Amino acid sequence: MARSGRRRGLKTRYLWLNLLREIRHTLMRALSIFGIAAIGVAFFTGIRAAGPDMKVTADAYLDKSRLPDITALSTAGLTADDIHALEEIPGVEAVEPVLTADAMMQRTDGGDTEINLHLISLPFPELLEYPMSFTILPDYGIDDGGDHLDRLDVISGRLPEDDHEIALDSQLADRGFAIGDSVTLTTSGGTAELYVTGFVESARYISTFDRGTSTIGSGKSDGFAYASGNAIAKLGSRMPMMAMFAARYTQVEIAVAGAQELNCFSEEYERLVDEVVQRIEAYGDTTEATWYVQTRSTSPGYADYSANTDRISAVGTFFPLFFLLVAVLVALTTMTRMVEEQRVQMGTLKALGYSQGAIVLQYLMYAVIASLFGSVLGSLLGFWLFPTVIGSAYAIMYRLPDFQTPYWADIASVSILAVMGCITLAAAMASVATLREVPASLMRPKSPKPGKRIIFERIPWLWKRLNFTAKVTVRNLIRYKKRFWMSVVGIAGSCALMVTGFGLSDSIYGIADKQFEQIWSMDVQAYTYDPMPAEDFSALIEAQNDGSIQNVAFCYDKTVKGGAKDGDVDLAEVHMFAVHDPEAFAQLV
């Protein structure tokens, strides 16, 4: 028994030594399996993780900035009593009142650039309780401390410290504005001259193109700015006419308890916020005014960003399977060639009494070791490379600092096990098929496959027209089916990727052509912020009559937000036109 045990131990030791020797002698083959496993896992994990990484990055940034979960507005404005009532609603963690206004901004020195600006107040040091009157003016002030919602990222300069200062959208620096400039803000309710102290970025505006809607001008905001509540109140904040003297704030921003621990793109987060929204709407129904309760989905760019992450996740569900299939075919071809080259060794081991399972295990371990190290390296590379590249591409459209690429254990384990399992299965199929032969047959060179006529030889008029090289190529394609299918799948996949890329390019450019050639055929769109003088109107008509202008249409243009009456659908931006001449407008749109 002891001798038998030692013999089994020697056999096992020899197999392991033989495995290590085989890896050393066929290092390039092992590296090929290592490489194909790394590439397959890198594509699988990287593309699958791109969508979740974008969501994690945005969620971390919005949580760091403490972007409000809910924004509530009322047609009668909001009083201190309303804010106290909202603070008592279950699920509400924090409530902060805000003043907002839409204004046209120009340099005080008479610059040509005119900006449609959305003004937002900086945090208030305290909640004003007393009613406003003609003799008692509110002093909103600025709170320079505390843990407030909507934290700003100061890109340059500083935040305003008094009622004569303003911090502008960082994108307005590219429009010619600079720190120290004196700017004039104009609304229907007043005018104010403020000094630019800095440029900021806000998590309210993650889109680099969309700055939301405006109640003046074209209806589209060109940028945002932060100033004191007193400065905004001087301009006449966006307060309804029916607000009376008790109303003090334009809107309130609300943080939901427990929401920060959830990913803001998850269903759990949406359910949690929706429950609080329903409670706020129920309170709004008890008042005489109409309340509008909005979630983050109404923030400029938020809904589009969420939709883009879902599209990336959808692509990552099926696209990487192609690379996994190629990895399996390459591994099957490589292991089959290796087994065929070692027929003599396999026959010798089988003749010496090694079991078929022990011999197969040697080749399985060869595949497992190479694919395991390749898969682990591929997952590390894939989780960093592909999400970073995709995130960099979306950085043109969205402002998200510090793109995060966490290691997703669930995605990594599935991809590693899938690639290892497929490569190991390929090794098992190749070795088991060979070991079915007896040792004497294995130790002799493998006899070539018996020749037989292929299907093309049965078509004389076609076969006779092929030269010798073409006939050999066709025979090899039909005889070596694994190589044939590997070539077919590889070429088909490559062509599919190329066609997909060109198709996306044609679709994108085709949309632009269709939009601006067939749907929106106007060449110039001009806005007036004041009623057009009669002489300007007459000049346009004369230009149309003398042929300088082919078509002209006068209309009132405004961007508004609308939604279903039952409130089941989030508010969406709607472009509305009140047309002076429907027939002239129909020729342009």
Q: Helix (H, G, I), strand (E, B), or coil: what is residue 414?
A: helix
Residue 70's pLDDT is: 92
- Band of pLDDT at residue 167, cut at 50, 70 and 90: very high
Give the mean pLDDT of 172-181: 88
Residues 6+ apart with CB under 8 A from 332: 426, 429, 430, 482, 486
CA distance linking residue 188 with residue 199, whole number of Å = 26
Higher pLDDT, 202 or 564: 202
pLDDT reading at 266 higher than 70: yes
CA distance linking residue 432 with residue 429, whole number of Å = 5
> Quick count: other Cβ atoms within 10 Å of Cβ 199?
21
CA distance linking residue 538 with residue 528, whole number of Å = 15
Residue 300's pLDDT is: 80
Tokens of 508: 């994108």
- Band of pLDDT at residue 451, cut at 50, 70 and 90: low
- pLDDT tens digits, residue range 555-572? 777 766 666 666 555 566
Instruction: Judge whether 108 and 276 are in contact, CB under 8 Å.
Output: no
Above pLDDT 90, what percent of the chain?
Answer: 18
- pLDDT tens digits, residue range 471-489? 888 888 777 777 777 778 7
Give the mean pLDDT of 491-505: 77
Higher pLDDT, 338 or 241: 338
- Band of pLDDT at residue 503, cut at 50, 70 and 90: confident
Tokens of 389: 């590249």
Torsion, CA 311, CA 314, CA 318, CA 321, rounded to 10: 80
Residue 241's pLDDT is: 45
Q: Are strands 223-227 and 165-169 parallel, antiparallel or unpaired?
A: antiparallel
- pLDDT tens digits, residue range 344-398? 888 888 888 878 888 888 888 888 888 899 999 999 999 999 899 888 888 888 8
- CA distances (Å), 444 to each of 194, 261, 448, in order? 94, 68, 12
> 197: closest CA among 153, 225, 160, 151?
160
> 260: closest CA among 247, 273, 250, 251?
273
- Band of pLDDT at residue 134, cut at 50, 70 and 90: very low
Region of 217 on the Ramachandran plot (φ > 0 left; ψ -120 to 50 alpha; else beta): left
Task: Please state the separation of Cα 290 from the chain's center in Å.
Answer: 35
Mean pLDDT of the chain: 81
- pLDDT tens digits, residue range 269-290? 999 999 999 999 999 888 888 8
CA distance linking residue 192 with residue 161, whole number of Å = 16
Torsion, CA 295, CA 297, CA 299, CA 305, rounded to 10: 150
Higher pLDDT, 188 or 84: 84
Alpha helices in 436-580 (DSSP H): 439-442, 460-463, 468-479, 481-513, 534-545
- CA distances (Å), 394 to each of 29, 61, 188, 209, 264, in order? 39, 15, 38, 12, 19
CA distance linking residue 462 with residue 110, whole number of Å = 83
- Burial of residue 506, with CB atoms counted within 10 A of its CB: 0-12 exposed, 13-18 middle, 19 or more buried: exposed
Tokens of 570: 């989030």
